[in-house]
């Protein structure tokens, strides 16, 4: 059976529909970061389900977690402690539900709640429905959805026009008759928390409903051409390892670029691109990311390393 487009992959579907329409099987990857992220996400779920007071402390949770090996325990524990400080300081304990699943029909625009704590079991969804799970939801004063992000690329996500965020917001709006929904991406790192918030209004939600209907129609129509780009890796395409059209990994380009600048000093964009055998347009988004992070500076087409 062809996979459905889930909310968590709407951002990828905006760029490329080949993962849903080609016959290449999806890879089942289990990275260390995914294991850490999954173990972390379970903690807020436990806390919220218990009304704010978990039945065990974070250290005991980490030590008892069956998937967390000893070397990963400090990292998971630091993430949990960073979350605990932020949550206790900033949030009321009232009105929260964790891991709430919804189904949304992109053709009819109808949505419904499937339940909480389903552990991503979407067997209750009907054919044609998109499925999704909200990390946390609060309905006590309008609707607020929170998505916790961990991992090295977490800060690449922005709440404004976020594919997953808008889909979650649309589902909750349609299911409960709301005109506007707030969405927060909470980046959880061992060094602390950053929050990015957006409020999607009725106009944006209607627009997104049109977008999802269009995506759904194109998937139903069958075979769609691959559209390679940095999203192949940054949005975790499930067939990137087998797709013949996959773009080069931007994180490899990033590492190679910094290494070249470290050993050779300021160079032109063209020179860096030719040295690592990629096209200039493939290097551009990586350079933009490096500039945004103050790792390189660019002036008149010459790239130099700013921070080592």
Q: Of 159, 240, 278, 283, which one interacts with ligand SF4 (CB under 6 A)?
A: 240
Q: How many CB atoms lie within 10 A of CB 33?
A: 14
Residue nearer to ligand SF4 on the CB measure, 17 or 77? 17
Sign of CA dihedral 129, 133, 134, 140: positive
- For ligand SF4, how many residues bind (rule: CB under 6 A)? 14
Q: Of 198, 209, 237, 283, which one interacts with ligand SF4 (CB under 6 A)?
A: 237
* CA separation for the pair 139, 142 (Å, rounded): 6
* CA separation for the pair 144, 221 (Å, rounded): 35
Residue 232 interacting with ligand SF4 (CB under 6 A): yes
Residue nearer to ligand SF4 on the CB measure, 18 or 101? 18
Q: Of 239, 253, 283, 287, which one interacts with ligand SF4 (CB under 6 A)?
A: 239
Residue 47 interacting with ligand SF4 (CB under 6 A): no
Contact 147, 183 (CB under 8 A): yes
Minimum Å gap between C-beta 21 and ligand SF4 is 9
Residue nearer to ligand SF4 on the CB measure, 18 or 79? 18
Q: Of 226, 286, 287, 290, which one interacts with ligand SF4 (CB under 6 A)?
A: 226
Residue nearer to ligand SF4 on the CB measure, 18 or 172? 18
Strand partners, 115: 101
Binding mask 246-265 for ligand SF4 (x = CB under 6 A): x-------------------
* CA separation for the pair 209, 166 (Å, rounded): 9
Residue nearer to ligand SF4 on the CB measure, 13 or 98? 13
Q: Of 8, 19, 166, 187, which one interacts with ligand SF4 (CB under 6 A)?
A: 19
* CA separation for the pair 243, 141 (Å, rounded): 45
Q: Of 46, 139, 175, 245, which one interacts with ligand SF4 (CB under 6 A)?
A: 245
Contact 93, 52 (CB under 8 A): yes
Q: Of 18, 47, 125, 198, which one interacts with ligand SF4 (CB under 6 A)?
A: 18
Beta strands in 13-52 (DSSP E): none
Give burial (CB, 10 Å; 0-12/13-18/19+) of 123: exposed
* CA separation for the pair 233, 31 (Å, rounded): 14
Sign of CA dihedral 67, 73, 77, 78: negative
Which residues of this chain interact with ligand SF4, rule CB under 6 A? 16, 18-19, 226-228, 231-232, 237, 239-240, 243, 245-246
């Amino acid at each position: 059976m062809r996979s459905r487009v889930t909310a968590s992959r709407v951002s990828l579907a905006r760029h490329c529909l080949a993962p849903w329409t080609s016959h290449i099987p999806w890879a089942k990857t289990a990275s260390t970061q995914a294991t850490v992220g999954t173990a972390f996400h379970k903690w807020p779920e436990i806390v919220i389900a218990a009304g704010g007071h978990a039945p065990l402390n974070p250290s005991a949770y980490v030590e008892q977690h069956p998937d967390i090996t000893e070397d990963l325990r400090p990292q998971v524990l630091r993430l949990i402690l960073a979350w605990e400080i932020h949550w206790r300081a900033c949030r009321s304990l009232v009105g929260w539900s964790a891991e709430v699943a919804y189904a949304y029909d992109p053709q009819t625009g109808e949505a419904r709640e499937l339940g909480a704590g389903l552990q991503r079991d979407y067997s209750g969804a009907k054919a044609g429905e998109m499925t999704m799970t909200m990390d946390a939801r609060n309905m006590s004063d309008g609707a607020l959805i929170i998505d916790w992000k961990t991992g090295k690329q977490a800060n690449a996500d922005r709440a404004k026009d976020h594919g997953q965020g808008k889909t979650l917001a649309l589902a909750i709006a349609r299911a409960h008759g709301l005109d506007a929904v707030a969405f927060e991406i909470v980046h959880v790192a061992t060094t602390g928390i950053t929050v990015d918030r957006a409020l999607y209004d009725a106009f944006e939600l209607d627009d997104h409903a049109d977008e999802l209907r269009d995506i759904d129609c194109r998937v139903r129509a069958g075979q769609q051409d691959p559209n390679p780009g940095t999203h192949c890796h940054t949005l975790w395409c499930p067939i990137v390892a087998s797709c013949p059209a996959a773009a080069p990994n931007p994180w490899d380009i990033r590492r190679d670029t910094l290494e070249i600048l470290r050993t050779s000093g300021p160079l032109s964009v063209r020179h860096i691109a030719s040295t690592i055998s990629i096209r200039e347009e493939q290097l551009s988004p990586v350079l933009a990311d490096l500039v945004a992070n103050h790792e390189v500076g660019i002036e008149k087409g010459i790239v130099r390393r700013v921070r080592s």
